[in-house]
Chain A
Amino acid sequence: SQELEQSPQSLIVQEGKNLTINCTSSKTLYGLYWYKQKYGEGLIFLMMLQKGGEEKSHEKITAKLDEKKQQSSLHITASQPSHAGIYLCGADPSGGSNYKLTFGKGTLLTVNP
């Protein structure tokens, strides 16, 4: 089965600082999803990456998938308190054909004003 390991488990940064969250897979990633969750709430779709070397950005958040498609990173530039939450990476172990996602354990981000 595919396992996703996220690092760090938690992160505390000062407002305005940049940060990076990593997601490493035990198998090739055919579709890698990034979500943000507030504790006890739903998941907010951020980005989905498929191709090796692919990079996508939305506002101040950039996600990349490495060429070997086994690692993805999520980078936040000039963090704000609104960025605080749990960031989850998820992948479809089937290779992208059935959309049943396996998730990492998440990275808890705290942004201090």
Chain B
Amino acid sequence: GAVVSQHPSRVICKSGTSVKIECRSLDFQATTMFWYRQFPKQSLMLMATSNEGSKATYEQGVEKDKFLINHASLTLSTLTVTSAHPEDSSFYICSARVAGSEKLFFGSGTQLSVL
């Protein structure tokens, strides 16, 4: 199946710093990618939709200035957690849809720990 690569898999940072997470579609082009967040033992919550060449759309309650999304190419979307705080510690995971298909593939996720 299609492969979505996410990097880094784990990151530990100090409070106040910014962290960038990359999501790449390796063998297909993705005009739309999605960013989710998952807290321990809870389900995934959609944060935003990343659109290639245009602004991301954010779900209600998600701060767009806090979670910057850039989708500069058909194979790469990035999520930057700005001025990270301990409450931002979470598992972040992206997904992408294969054009012309109903299938949605997910990356391997990024565990963010803010000290």
Given contacts A42-B107, A42-B109, A45-B103, contact A104 B34 (CB under 8 A): no
A31 vs B42: C-alpha distance in the bound complex, in angstroms?
Answer: 22
Interface pair A40/B109, CB less than 8 Å apart: yes
Provide the B34-69 mask, 1 if CB < 8 A to any CB of A, else 0: 100000001110100100000000010000000000
Counting chain A residues whose Cβ lies within 8 A of the other chain, the interface size class is 20 to 34
- Which of A's residues lie within 8 Å of B, judged by CB? 31, 33, 35, 40-45, 48, 50, 88, 90, 96, 98-106
A sample of 20 more A-B contacts (CB under 8 A), given A42-B4, A99-B32, is A31-B102, A33-B104, A40-B109, A41-B108, A41-B109, A42-B6, A43-B93, A43-B106, A44-B106, A45-B104, A48-B104, A50-B102, A99-B97, A99-B104, A100-B46, A100-B59, A101-B44, A101-B46, A101-B104, A105-B43
